[in-house]
Chain A
Amino acid sequence: MQNLLLIFFSAILVNNFVLNKFMGICPFLGVSKKLDSALGMSVAVIFVMLTATAITWPIYNYLLLPYELEYLRTIAFILVIALFVQLVEIILKRFVPSLYKSLGIYLPLITTNCAVLGVTVLNIDSKYGFGESLVNALGGGVGFMVALLLFSGVRSRLESCNVPKAFKGMPITLVAASIVAISFAGFSGIVEGIFG
């Protein structure tokens, strides 16, 4: 249990996917402008990260590993994620149109979100068990949400600031992201201190 808590909280705070591992930077910078879209995107990412892990972990350990096909990992994982995202989109469109309306536009972007492929690959590389992998994926997704929501707040403040011309748009956003990343760096060591 303690082990799982450690994985969960370090995935959120210390090894935050966006601010520490730089995975999912595109949605982080692209979708964080408004709080609503940031929330929708993060919920979709949490869901896909969890289910993608639940699918790819058995595929790797029970299909690729026994037949010594580890080198097919990249191809297999990205195909599974792409197909799965497509499937979710079709199912949502058909059966839960209201949810599709709010999450639908984010789903196609998730295939190319490196955080999703990243979490499945990292789970295998860190030799996590099935439960640990799921917890890591959940923590990674929640960490993504925390970073995105916090940053959308920062950005709405930024909108009203008068910045030098050359810094308008992306550069000042990156500088602001750097300050948010510094604040997250303050968490390193704390999680291990509490749960370790």
Chain B
Amino acid sequence: MRKENSRLSVLLNGIIHENPVLVLLIGMCPSLAITTMAQNALGMGLATTFVLICSNVVISLLKKLIPDTVRLPAYIVVIAGFVTIMSFALKKISPELNKALGVYIELVVVNCIILMRAESFANKNGPIRSAIDGLGFGIGFTIALLLIGSVREILGLGTWFGMQVLPEAVDPMTVFVNPAGAFFALGIIIAAVNFISRKLKNTGRRDTSVKACSGCAACPSNGVCGHMEGGEE
């Protein structure tokens, strides 16, 4: 029973407490670039989830074989392999989605989320826990992308998954489909998340900020990055 609980907490950790985009603020490039439509966001989220789970399992299995000094290049090769497999699959399953996501499919390789989970979870835990962790972070990433994508599509195009949501008479605010709208929408969403988590944890500081730092420890940008400011008063 206790084991079940800990697995559930591993799963929920990636979805809520350490949501990669909304709390840890990593993996921003895809979350800004391809969220013009909810459909693209969902596709990107699922594709990243696939790569994340597979690479987590493989790296966790290989953790004793990979020498410590060359572990980052080794992780990158594993990740790049799965990205190649995923892009083949995507070309076959949905050519139009592949076209819409374009170069960003290949850029999944350098998505910090995947490397960070490999470095800070998969090389310390067994394959099953790593798979669950990958699933959790994948779902968290997908939810965040879907949220941004939905806001941008509904406000910018008046549709959601291609269906007309706003009445035709309402002029959509096309700025939300433009690059500028991406920054704006993400900023507002993160502010809303901050606001809600502040309300929920009214007593004292947000403990997520402490966790965000442990996430940063694995991040290659650790040295010069100013992310720690996120939860400071």
Smallest CB–CB gap between B166 and chain A, Å?
Answer: 22
Question: What mask results when residues 92 to 123 of chain A are scored 1 for a CB within 8 Å of chain B, else 0?
Answer: 00000000000001101101111001100110
Question: What mask results when residues 72 to 108 of chain B are scored 1 for a CB within 8 Å of chain A, else 0?
Answer: 1100110011011001100000000000001100110
Whether B26 contacts A26 by the Cβ 8 Å rule is: yes
Q: Which of A25, A113, A168, A182 contacts B32 (CB 8 A)?
A: A25
Decide if the interface of chain B is mainly helix, strand, loop or mixed.
Answer: helix
Stretch at the interface among A3-11, A53-61, A69-77, A130-138: A69-77
Stretch at the interface among B52-60, B134-142, B183-191: B183-191
Bound form: Cα–Cα A105–B226 in Å: 14
Whether B76 contacts A22 by the Cβ 8 Å rule is: no
Closest to B231 in A: A169
Question: What mask results when residues 185 to 214 of chain B are scored 1 for a CB within 8 Å of chain A, else 0?
Answer: 011101110110010000000000000000
User: Chain B residues with Cβ under 8 A from A75's Cβ?
Assistant: 77, 80-81, 84
Closest to B191 in A: A171
Stretch at the interface among B2-10, B109-117, B123-131, B156-164: B109-117
Smallest CB–CB gap between A14 and chain B, Å?
Answer: 11
User: What are 19 pairs between A and B in contact, CB < 8 Å?
Assistant: A21-B33, A22-B179, A24-B29, A26-B29, A30-B225, A78-B77, A79-B76, A82-B72, A111-B76, A112-B221, A117-B106, A121-B103, A167-B187, A169-B230, A171-B187, A171-B190, A174-B187, A175-B183, A181-B183
